[in-house]
Amino acid sequence: MLKREAHDEHRLFIDGQYRSALSGRMFEKISPITGSVIAQVHEAGREDVDLAVRAAKAALRGPWGRLTVAERASLLQDVSQAINDRFDDFLEAEIADTGKPRSLARAVDIPRGGANFSTFADMIKNLGSEFFKTDTPDGGTAINYGSYRPKGVIGVISPWNLPLLLMTWKVGPALACGNTVVVKPSEVTPHTTTLLGEVMNAVGIPKGVYNVIHGFGPGSAGEYLTQHPLVDGITFTGETVTGEAIMTQAAVGLRDVSLELGGKNAAIVFADADLDKAVAGTMRSVFSNCGQVCLGTERVYVERPVFDEFVARLKAGAEELVLGGPDYPGVGMGPLISAEHRDKVLSYYQLAEKEQANIVTGGGVPQFGDDRDRGYFVEPTIWTGLPETSALVREEIFGPCCHISPFDSEDEVIARVNDNEYGLASAIWTQDISRAHRVAPQIEVGLVWVNSWFLRDLRTAFGGSKKSGIGREGGEHSLEFYTERANICVKL
Ligand code: NAD
Ligand code: 6OD
């Protein structure tokens, strides 16, 4: 079990060793549950980042680079097993950093930490290769086959909403393909990424293969990492504006990027839907993780005959949610991640009042009269009555809130859902299977769920269109991004 201390200290993890930042600079990690400092984090400067990247580069040519695919896959299965063996340590670290309900982190975040390694360890052993037999001009034959090698040093930059899940979602396949990584977790959730260094050492991952640098974005570790000339590829999950900055930084030296960015995801509820399931699914997609899920629903379109009933039932569900810290009795929703993020979400709550939205429920900061008043809680909130032009209907808020609009026809709702600059995910609720197949491909997003939400098979393509990202990860798409392919042509 992890030793709980009043103040944890998170060091950098470079070349298999925990180290202080060379500058000695540190920053504070604040608990979203209490608003007090729970850790000091070492902030990597340019020199620390350089050390980490050089360690990663050297490791490509060391024992790691000489492993067979089967040996590498076996070591990554050990990483997966070791995360599961230390499940409680990762769980405590994640809930302390994020404040999310223990039950949620136990069911989703930590299991995916292990699965992200085991899935790609399995896949890499079965990676096939294309083969073409070619007629040559002299009447002979050539054979062509595909070969792959690792891309090199991968810079991994991850966000705070699902810290272990989203970081390992990139580190797992990157290592499976034989790369080495330098990871910069979000400055507000440094803990599980740091802890993973212990696991890497314990199972015998060679030094320099997995490195961790802490810090911020611009003028700090994130920017130094993306600017480093020895970084061969950058994979990023976070906000669209940050993705734009990272893409600009990656353009120097023509480094490949994979960007998983923001969304303004819509749910469509047809009148023929099983309303019990549609309400329960939409409750999850709007309020899970306090609305801080990139795939979460912030726009709901409900066919007019069931609009009033749906709104009433979602309101009842929202009002039944128990707010509290990870272990609060019956907790269904935790706090937002930080004071800064709460200010952002509350600015939209205020805008809703200014724009005279119909506030179905919520819209403010809850007053508990107990310890919870120290945390960064906001009320689960539902609005109706706003036009499609409202910022509340168009912009990503990343909080526990949604706007619900009625619609009258399939064509109308498809046009309204697509009229947005994001294109990440959508959920369709209907019992008409033909309608589901007709509508789903017309939605301009990377992921469509029918009668479900966040049902994941890690072998499938994951990513967004428009301003929600570039490229796809998941399954063979991850293997494609994290490798360099070559064609070998042999004249027979
Ligand atoms: P963010 O963009 O603020 O930060 C993400 C990471 O980028 C952090 O580690 C941060 O320090 C770093 N960073 C910031 N500026 C940088 C720069 N100029 N150069 C290099 N690194 C920089 O995102 P966030 O607030 O941590 O996460 C929330 C956002 O992430 C939301 O927009 C959400 O939609 C998005 N998100 C998307 C997905 C997806 O799969 N599409 C998944 C989760 C979260
Ligand atoms: O499930 C995943 O692999 C994934 N990338 C989820 C992203 C969730 C966004 O918050």
Residue 4's pLDDT band, with cuts at 50, 70 and 90, is very low
Same-domain check for residues 310 and 199: no
Q: Which residues, in sequence order, are CB contacts of 120 under 8 Å at separation 6+? A: 76, 172, 173, 175, 176, 177, 458, 478, 479
Compute, in angstroms, the gap from residue 290 CA to the centroid of ligand 1.
17
Q: Whose CA is nearest to atom 3 of ligand 2?
A: 169
Same-domain check for residues 347 and 436: yes
Same-domain check for residues 244 and 232: yes
Give the pLDDT confidence score for residue 473 in this predicted structure: 98
Nearest atom (ligand 2) to Cα of 293: 10
Q: Does residue 463 form part of some domain?
A: no
Compute, in angstroms, the gap from residue 158 CA to the centroid of ligand 1.
6
Give the pLDDT confidence score for residue 1 in this predicted structure: 45
Q: Does residue 270 form part of some domain?
A: yes
Pocket of ligand 1 (CB under 6 A): 157-161, 166, 184, 186-187, 216-218, 222-223, 226, 237-239, 242, 245-246, 260-263, 294, 396, 398, 424, 464, 468-469
Same-domain check for residues 438 and 481: no
Same-domain check for residues 319 and 394: yes
Same-domain check for residues 81 and 148: yes
Q: Is the pLDDT of residue 6 over 60?
A: no
Same-domain check for residues 242 and 147: yes
Q: Which ligand is nearest to the CA of 336?
A: 1
Encode pLDDT of 157-179 as tens digits: 999 999 999 999 999 999 999 99
- Round the CA-based radius of gyration of the chain to a whole number and report it: 24
Compute, in angstroms, the gap from residue 463 CA to the centroid of ligand 2.
9
How many structural domains are present in the chain? 2
- 6-20, 262-276, 411-425: lowest mean pLDDT where? 6-20
Q: Does residue 177 form part of some domain?
A: yes
Compute, in angstroms, the gap from residue 156 CA to the centroid of ligand 1.
11
Give the pLDDT confidence score for residue 354 in this predicted structure: 98
Give the pLDDT confidence score for residue 7 in this predicted structure: 54
Known catalytic residue: 294? Answer: yes
Question: Six-digit token pair at 327?
Answer: 């272990």
Q: Whose CA is nearest to atom 40 of ligand 1?
A: 260
**Alpha carbon of 475 to those of 6, 44, 170, 174, 462: distances in Å?**
41, 32, 11, 12, 9
Encode pLDDT of 357-390 as tens digits: 999 999 999 999 999 999 999 999 999 999 999 9
Q: Is the pLDDT of residue 291 over 60?
A: yes
Region label for 157, one of left (φ > 0), alpha (ψ between -120 and 50) or beta (otherwise): beta
Same-domain check for residues 314 and 272: yes
Q: What is the CATH classification number for the domain harbouring 350?
A: 3.40.309.10
Catalytic residue among 94, 223, 260, 303: 260
Nearest atom (ligand 1) to Cα of 215: 11
Nearest atom (ligand 1) to Cα of 294: 34
- The mean pLDDT of 173-190, rounded to a whole number, is 98
Collapsing DSSP to helix, strand or coil, 264 comes out as: coil
Catalytic residue among 43, 187, 223, 294: 294
Encode pLDDT of 218-255 as tens digits: 999 999 999 999 999 999 999 999 999 999 999 999 99
Same-domain check for residues 446 and 393: yes
Compute, in angstroms, the gap from residue 424 CA to the centroid of ligand 1.
15
User: What percentage of the chain reaches a pLDDT higher than 90?
Assistant: 98
Same-domain check for residues 220 and 299: no
Q: What is the dihedral of CA 255, 260, 263, 267, to 10 degrees?
A: 140
pTM for the model = 0.96
Q: Does residue 462 form part of some domain?
A: no
Q: What is the CATH classification number for the domain harbouring 143?
A: 3.40.605.10
Same-domain check for residues 310 and 333: yes
* Pairing outcome for strands 141-150 and 483-491: antiparallel
User: What percentage of the chain reaches a pLDDT higher than 70?
Assistant: 99
DSSP 326: T
Same-domain check for residues 243 and 297: no
Q: Does residue 143 form part of some domain?
A: yes
Residue 372: domain span: 265-457
- The mean pLDDT of 141-169, rounded to a whole number, is 98
